[in-house]
Structure 1
Amino acid sequence: MTESGTAPRLGALRATYTARRPPWAGYVVGGVLLFGGGTPLLVALLIAGTGPLPVLAFAIVYAGYTWMLVDRVKLARRGKGARLDLHERGAVVTLGGGNVHAFDWDTVLVHQDVLHSRKNGITTSSHVYTLIGTDGVACTIGDSGRTSSSRYAGIVTHVKGAEFTEPEQWGPAIVQAVGDAQIGRVLEEVANGRRLAFNTIALGLHGVEHKGRSLPWGRVGELRVVNGRFHVKEDGRRLPAMDVPVSAIPNFPVFYTVAKRLHEATRRS
């Protein structure tokens, strides 16, 4: 178990989510169709001497399917016995093999990467969350097809977790719990004059900073989120002065709430 917390001190258990199981039936059927039907055709092409291109095409298809199957097997191993427990004061991620990582709501850094896509009138969502404890252990959970960046600040060890059922429930629940636990403290720290860094972007009483550029709150025209990116617009300019992926800002609701309050306070003064 990581240094960042233990289940007993995290309080009462609120919800538990188990690992999502890969659709093995579909992969088995696909493998039978691919290898059972494709192999005789490949042999026929080799006998007919059609050249290297058809053989190369089959090889690429076979390799791609094999890679996908191996990835699913790895996912199933990570998910065996895995569970996500949300407690009153934190979360516990149990992975395959009994590895346990615990995170306190009042200290954890959470990077949220939620992608919505629409096809044939149907909207699907992909959820990836990276939780970073005070000990530098980061655990990424959610859609294994997309992995969150390991280049976030504060990471010493990066662990790839499992896919858990109902991410549209546990994801917002984690974000809400972190916000409830941290917003008050962060507001107090900023009011006392502290400059707070959220990965590559920072804020304080006097303004917001990103990639070496500082913009006073008095020159900020608007703060908004557009297509998963946080935009800071400067008065008198059309293009954003700062453009940062929401997924790159830890505890984004905390950051956004504090930034909005500081901006609004300056506008009123």
Structure 2
Amino acid sequence: MASERGTARVPDALRVVAREHGLGARKGLVQNEPKRFPWGGVLPVGVLGAFLGWLALSYAIEDQREQGAWYYSLPLLVLAAIPLGFVGYVLFAWLFRPRPPQIWVAWYEHGALWHVDRGGTSAYTWDEIASVTRQDVKVTNGVTSATTHRLTVTSEDGAEIVVGDEFSGIVPFAEGLVDAFSRARVPRDAARLEAGERIGFGAVDIDVSGVGQGSRRIGWREVERIEVKQGRVEIRRRGERKPWMTLAAPGFPDLPVFLTLADALRRQHES
């Protein structure tokens, strides 16, 4: 299990609760990582402050010895105090910052759970989970770019398990959990559709007759394809060059489930 490399000892509560809920074998595990002290930004400032302080003291001693006026070097001492004060402030803020609790999140054959150190453990089977949402967003400042990752598992009773970049190995963990949940959810939602239900996926919903948003709907015979392109979900209508509807892919709940069911319904109406 690649997402479990480098983790600390796994609390026994995970094994006990997983067994009680019949979750089966564990497939993935992540834990939040404590933030490291920002040496890369603080150390150069500290070195500069120490150098300026040494230089200022050297001049002050020399001025006192030769002219009896150490305070001639006072401007340089003040200049040295600025970076040293900054380093002191950062150290103080770091040492006395609130410590976030240690959290473990795991997914299994038949569900997922999370455990908070010195707190509780919550477990849910796939049927007890309302939605699974990934939000991978690329952020660019004009020079460099980075992708932030966020996975939200929402239970039927409204509780949320949120896994972000502070959890080491979030990408393979999220991919595995989403795939397992989708494989378990597709047959269930397909049965609901056959029973005549309309199923919502955030801003859009589907039923056996078509797809849409509120009163704006089209039938499956009119849908040419639904695809994910450059971070967008595009619903394309036959004969039209532009997408009939465009939705953001990041934050789209149960996106693989939606795509699988929509494609199956579209193919049914083609025949």
Q: Normalised by the size of structure 2, how large is the TM-score?
A: 0.68
Q: Secondary structure at the match of 1:20?
A: coil
Counterpart residue number, 1:241: 244
Counterpart residue number, 1:28: 39
- Which of 91, 99, 105 is 2:126 aligned to? 105
Mapped to 1, the partners of 2:229 and 2:49 lie a distance apart of 45
One-letter amino acid of the counterpart of residue 130, structure 1: T
Deviation string, structure 1 residues 30-63 (Cα, Å, up to 9, x no partner): 224336647979x959989xxxxxxxxx9xxx7x
Mapped to 2, the partners of 1:256 and 1:110 lie a distance apart of 14
Mapped to 2, the partners of 1:18 and 1:237 lie a distance apart of 47
CA contact (8 A) 2:132 2:254 kept: yes
CA contact (8 A) 1:208 1:214 kept: yes
Q: Does 1:224 align with 2:227?
A: yes
More displaced stretch, 202-211 vs 109-118: 109-118
Q: CA deviation at 1:206?
A: 0.7
Q: CA deviation at 1:244?
A: 1.2
CA contact (8 A) 1:210 1:242 kept: no
Mapped to 2, the partners of 1:188 and 1:206 lie a distance apart of 15
Judging changes above 3 Å, is the alpha-carbon distance between structure 1 residues 28 and 123 closer, same or farther for their aligned structure 2 residues? closer
- Which of 192, 209, 213 is 1:206 aligned to? 209
Q: Does 1:126 align with 2:148?
A: yes
One-letter amino acid of the counterpart of residue 139, structure 1: I
Q: Give runs of aligned pairs for residues 3-152 of structure 1, distance below 5 A.
A: 6-7=17-18, 8-9=20-21, 10-24=23-37, 27-34=38-45, 37=48, 77-78=99-100, 80-108=101-129, 109-115=131-137, 125-143=147-165
Q: CA deviation at 1:18?
A: 2.7
Q: Does 1:169 align with 2:182?
A: no
Q: Secondary structure at the match of 1:240?
A: coil
Structure with larger Rg: 2
Counterpart residue number, 2:62: none
Paired positions, count: 219
Deviation string, structure 1 residues 194-221 (Cα, Å, up to 9, x no partner): 1111121100111001254111111112
CA contact (8 A) 1:127 1:171 kept: no
Counterpart residue number, 1:54: none
More displaced stretch, 196-205 vs 247-256: 247-256
Identity %: 24
Q: CA deviation at 1:173?
A: 0.9
Deviation string, structure 1 residues 218-254 (Cα, Å, up to 9, x no partner): 1112210011211101122222111112233221111
Q: CA deviation at 1:19?
A: 2.3
Q: Secondary structure at the match of 2:136?
A: strand
Q: Secondary structure at the match of 2:128?
A: coil
Counterpart residue number, 1:261: 264
